[in-house]
Amino acid sequence: MNETQRAKIVFKILNKIYPKTPIPLKHKNSFTFLISVLLSAQTTDVNVNNVTKNIYPIYNKPEHFVKLGRKKIERMIKSIGIFRNKAKSVFNLSKQLIKKHNGKVPKSFEELESLPGVGHKTASVVMAQSFGVPAFPVDTHIHRLAQRWGLTNGKNVVQTEKDLKRLFPKKSWNKLHLQIIYYGREYCKARECYGLTCKICTSCYPHRKKSIKTRKA
């Protein structure tokens, strides 16, 4: 079985299990979505949602966060990992949006990636889920799953993104990104499946006997 055949299996199974893919991060607008994606690094969407549910009803514009100041932002998000760095990014990002973009979230990869704390993965998530632009954000989880399923050689997330974009139709990227995340959380967990037990792994590699070692992102 080659990678194209495995991609078809993955596509079929994911579409059957997850016909709908609601965005897991709660938000009020494109700005709060950008902030939530930034906050979600090295923590769970649930943790982010628990923190922001008390913030976004009151603070949901760049002007609000600039007025709050970095220290207050720190106190508001202190239950999230690396909160000091994230508070700094949120504060500086908000200032830059006001100064350079009239307080609006830009709709291009280049402009998004120029914002403090925003890397390619964060920009890809925002472009895909907030603006509907085809993108395939690859985080450590998708990187791991793509290796287990034989869709990439796993050299790095850049290569994994290229491989996934090559194997799947462009119109499916935004939905597929979320489908893979949902499936990984529910069935192909990091310390449970090991490439041996879930439906996708056993369908793509029916004769696999040893757990698959994946390269870190």
Per-residue pLDDT tens digits of the chain, which is 217 residues long: 999 999 999 999 999 999 999 999 999 999 999 999 999 988 999 999 999 999 999 999 999 999 999 999 999 999 998 999 999 999 999 999 999 999 999 999 999 999 999 999 999 999 999 999 999 999 888 999 999 999 999 889 999 999 999 999 999 999 999 999 999 999 999 889 999 999 999 999 999 999 988 888 7
Give the span between the Cα atoms of 86 and 65, in whole angstroms: 12
Dihedral angle of Cα 154, 141, 213, 192, to the nearest 10 degrees: -160
For the chain, give every domain's residue range: 3-21+136-204, 30-129
Q: What is the pLDDT of residue 190?
A: 86
Check if CATH label 3.40.50.11540 holds for domain 30-129: no
Give the span between the Cα atoms of 82 and 187, in whole angstroms: 28
Q: The tokens of 190 are what?
A: 């990091």
Q: What is the pLDDT of residue 212?
A: 85
The DSSP code for 74 is: H
Neighbours of 156 (CB within 10 A): 14
Q: What is the pLDDT of residue 196?
A: 93
Q: What is the pLDDT of residue 150?
A: 96
Q: What is the pLDDT of residue 214?
A: 85
Q: What is the pLDDT of residue 130?
A: 95
Using alpha carbons, list the distances in angstroms from residue 190 to 42, 147, 148, 164, 186: 15, 12, 10, 20, 10
Q: Which CATH architecture has domain 3-21+136-204?
A: Orthogonal Bundle (1.10)
Dihedral angle of Cα 196, 197, 203, 206, to the nearest 10 degrees: 50
Q: What is the pLDDT of residue 81?
A: 85
